[in-house]
Each structure stands twice: as structure tokens, then as C-alpha cells.
Amino acid sequence: MLLILIYLSVLAVVGLLVISLYNSLVRGRNEVKNAWSAIDVQLKRRHDLIPNVIEAVKVYASHERQTLDAVTNARQEAVASSGSIEIRAKAENALSASLRSLFALAEAYPNLKANESFIALQTELAATENKIGFARQYYNDTALRYKNRVETFPGNIVAGMFNFRVEPFFQLKEAGEREAPRVKF
């Protein structure tokens, strides 16, 4: 009889451990999804600002069509990209690179740099880029915590039983992408 009670107690403890680890993994996965949605909100904001910046630049630099088209195309690809985080990150990184060239172009036009609307748009876009950076960092932090839960013992056993998978980091692939778009006044 005592042996049965010990056996049931061990099973109860193991069951509670599995439930606790499972709930921890679910919370971690939800935190990662929430962190990604914070990035998504800031990316949408950036996507909404870019057409206004392009219109402001067009007035002063209409003959710089190639740069304007590159930004427009990169924005369209970023807006249209869906699927995995890696695919979306690649599109967003291409958009960031095209924005750098747009702001480099703006340096050549003193009237554009002095335009109040353009300055306000630059300021807003710079603030948005900062928010995207903070959101990326938060996402990567939550993805790391979740990855640690999924890959460390005994969480890896529960994660394997219930098919929990690690989430990828939102990282830059090329060294040039590490530079923030320059915004000068």
C-alpha cells in the first residue's frame, strides 16, 4: 500500500512538472508572438510614412527617379512580404538600405533639407526607426528566453512531446544593414 502511495506521489509530481513546463512554453511562445506584433506595428508605421517622404523628395529631385523607384519597390516588397520572419526581415532590411540611399540623395538638395514638411517626415521616420530597433531587441530577447526554455532540460523533453519549436531571431545578414539611415538637418 505504501509503495502505491509513493508511486502515485511521484506520478503527481511529474505530472505537475510537465504541466508547469508546458504552461511556461506556451507563455514563452505567446511572448514571442507579442514581441513580433510590436515590430509589425512599427513596420506598418514606417510603411505608411515612406510615401510621404518620397512625395516630398519628388518635388525637389524629380530627376532622381532610380533612387525613388528603388525605395518605392522596396516598400512594396516589404508590405507584400508575408510568411516566415526570415523572409520579412530580408524585405525590411532591403527597405532600410534603400532609405539610406534616399536620405543620402536628400543631402544634395539644400532646399529639400530646409523644407519643413521634409524635416518633420525625417524626424518621424527616424523616431520610427528607433522604435523598430527597440522592438527588434525586445523580440530577440523574448525569442532567446523561449529558445532557452525549449532547448534546456527538462523543458526540451516537454517541448519535444508537444512539438514546440524555437523562433528565429530578427537579425541582419549584411554588415551594411547594421547602419541606421542617416537623418541630418
With both helix axes pointing from N to C terminus, report the angle between 65-80 and 85-106 in degrees, rounded to the nearest 10: 160
Could you read off the pLDDT of 44-77 as tens digits, one per residue?
Answer: 999 999 998 888 887 777 667 788 888 999 999 9
Q: Which of 133, 52, 54 is nearest to 92 (CA)?
A: 133
pTM of the model: 0.79
Name, in order, each residue with C-beta under 8 angstroms of 165's C-beta and a sequence gap of 6 or more: 150
Task: Give me the mean pLDDT over the 90-97 stretch.
Answer: 89
> What is the fold, at CATH topology level, of the domain defined by 24-178?
de novo design (two linked rop proteins) (1.20.1440)
Q: Look up residue 36 and give its three cell numbers.
A: 513580433
**pLDDT of the residue at 183:** 46
Name, in order, each residue with C-beta under 8 angstroms of 65's C-beta and a sequence gap of 6 or more: none
Which helix H or strand E contains 153, and what residues bound it?
none
Could you read off the pLDDT of 104-117 as tens digits, one per residue?
Answer: 877 778 777 778 88
Compute the radius of gyration of the chain from its Cα atoms.
Answer: 24
